Structure 1
Amino acid sequence: MAEPALPDIDPGPAGLAVSLRGVTKVYDSGVTALGPLDLDVQRGEFVSLLGPSGCGKSTALRLIAGLSAPTSGTVGVSHRAGDERGRRSIGFVFQEPTLMPWARVRENVRLPLKLARDPVAEADARVSEALAQVGLAEFAGAFPRELSGGMKMRVSLARALVTDPDLLLMDEPFAALDEITRFRLNNDLLALWRSLRKTVIFVTHSVFESVYLSQRVIVMTSRPGRIGAEFRIDAPEPRGEDFRTSPRYASQCRQVSNALAPSYAGRPGA
């Protein structure tokens, strides 16, 4: 089955990377998962989608990636998010690393380039670069079973980066990791973003993670997911532990948490 085509958008003077207009998603079961949703994301922006389980965060990400089609509305991705061969350059990091257990790290990272039939020498160079970017250059010959959970997620991130995408979509990639590993990966992701200036849309359940990472936090309502609130995160760059322990961070987390609270009201276990 062919993937649904995403319309290009003219980035124009505003420099839009993604534009959603009146987007809804109704599944075959009759469940309305999303919308109507309107959202613009600027090129080079780091945006987090925050909300309760089932509010449509991951659905929105899949629509932007072109892995699913909206029931109504339009999903536009800038034509700049594509390479010279017309392939849309979107990297996707899923909740689980989804690595091939029989393949070494380098082959797991090489997979998108192999599927695209890129020249071997070019692919080798790009795999080496991506592994260096995530701090795993010395583990290129390892198997997934030899890696920790955090290292496996780094491999997944390298696989998303190896095509040099303009747009990086991340669906709760650090949710299953311990707190120390999660903090370290948050810091490393921010360093990569500052260096590479990709457009990042990051899905999370964590108020603290969203405020620490993002330039903008989109708080979504319970199903069907809509934008309930939006926060511009005012923080000095580069961010680090000084920000994480600052009164400003605590205040912004409190504001975001207060906006999120109505989405959990009346939910089982709330």
Structure 2
Amino acid sequence: MVDPAALADMGTDPAGNVAVSLRGVTKTYDNGVVALGPIDLEVRRGEFVSLLGPSGCGKSTALRLIAGLGTPSSGTVRVARTAVEANGGHAVGFVFQEPTLMPWTTVRENVRLPLRLAHVPLSSANARVDQALAQVGLSEFANAYPRELSGGMKMRVSLARALVTDPDILLMDEPFAALDEITRFRLNNDLLALWRSLRKTVIFVTHSVFESVYLSQRVVVMTSRPGRIATEISIEATEPRGEDFRTSADYAGYCRKVSSALAPAYSGPSA
């Protein structure tokens, strides 16, 4: 379970280096499926980490446990408490695989939703919505409806909705999986630019070796179900990353290394 005492302890950590800590975490669902673990994972503040593994290996389950959208069957999930959270804000923002926008209202109102639920005054909420839309490049589409947007733009709205609460930790569950390659590349670049600017802690779930290597400082490779951590690979590349990195020998080498680490996951039980 999420340990309230642990949250407070992490929030007063003098070094302030750890954003998320999972220790001995497992998850077994009511139908008997053992989805996860045990796993041990630590994510530093401001780090960009990708969880990579086959379908059904527990990547999304781990993300939901970190977000507090479920409780582990055993072990402890600890998320650093911040002054923002202590004052009624949010430590964690979540971008789901589908944009899940309300089709009957505008982009602005979709982004405003978390602030409305938190009873943030309208004047303050308006400024924060404008800022979030500017961060994802959608200011001019504030009054558009979801039906008027492309798939990539809908995902930008979802990202803005996660950013509008100014979370310290951004959890992203395969947000670009359904997009075409050109749009996906562009959003990868824009996400990295946002990360460099805002320095959020990002935990990003993906099935793509290429995406994980391009985006991450560290790739966490998971086994087939029940998901465990097979290995962790640091991606040491010059910042800022761009097309030069994507076409470099270093990038290709990291992709080969991550692919090799992932291969055993596909020789185990069906996911």
Band the TM-score falls in, shorter-chain normalisation: over 0.9
Aligned with residue 50 of structure 1, among 49, 52, 55 = 52
> Structure 2: how far apart are the matches of 1:92 and 1:250?
30
Q: For the Cα contact (< 8 Å) 1:113–1:123, is it kept in 2?
A: yes
> Structure 2: how far apart are the matches of 1:15 and 1:62?
22
Deviation, structure 1 residue 12: 3.9
Q: For the Cα contact (< 8 Å) 1:19–1:40, is it kept in 2?
A: yes
Does residue 231 in structure 1 map to residue 228 in structure 2?
no
Aligned with residue 101 of structure 2, among 99, 105, 111 = 99
Which residue does the alignment assign to 2:180?
178
Over 3 Å counting, the alpha-carbon distance change for 1:266 and 1:20 in structure 2 is closer
Q: For the Cα contact (< 8 Å) 1:54–1:222, is it kept in 2?
A: yes
Deviation, structure 1 residue 89: 2.0
Q: Deviations over 1:108-166 (max 9, x none)?
A: 00000000000100000000000000000000000000000000000000000000000
Deviation, structure 1 residue 40: 0.3
Extract unaligned runs of 5+ from structure 2.
none
Which residue does the alignment assign to 1:255?
257
> Structure 2: how far apart are the matches of 1:4 and 1:38?
15
Q: For the Cα contact (< 8 Å) 1:104–1:144, is it kept in 2?
A: yes
Deviation, structure 1 residue 85: 1.8
Letter in 1 for 2:172: M
1:148-227 alignment runs, 5 A limit: 148-227=150-229
* Equivalent position SS for 2:85: coil
Aligned with residue 111 of structure 1, among 110, 113, 118 = 113
Q: Deviations over 1:202-237 (max 9, x none)?
A: 000000000000000000000111100110001000
Q: For the Cα contact (< 8 Å) 1:4–1:68, is it kept in 2?
A: no
* Equivalent position SS for 1:83: helix
> Structure 1: how far apart are the matches of 2:2 and 2:231?
29
TM-score (structure 2 length as normaliser): 0.95
TM-score (structure 1 length as normaliser): 0.95
Deviation, structure 1 residue 265: 1.0
Aligned with residue 125 of structure 1, among 127, 138, 141 = 127
Structure with the larger helix share:
2
Deviation, structure 1 residue 267: 5.2
Which residue does the alignment assign to 2:143?
141
Aligned with residue 244 of structure 1, among 240, 246, 252 = 246
Does residue 66 in structure 1 map to residue 68 in structure 2?
yes
Deviation, structure 1 residue 86: 4.1
Over 3 Å counting, the alpha-carbon distance change for 1:76 and 1:266 in structure 2 is closer
Deviation, structure 1 residue 13: 2.1
Does residue 19 in structure 1 map to residue 21 in structure 2?
yes
Letter in 2 for 1:58: S
Aligned length: 267
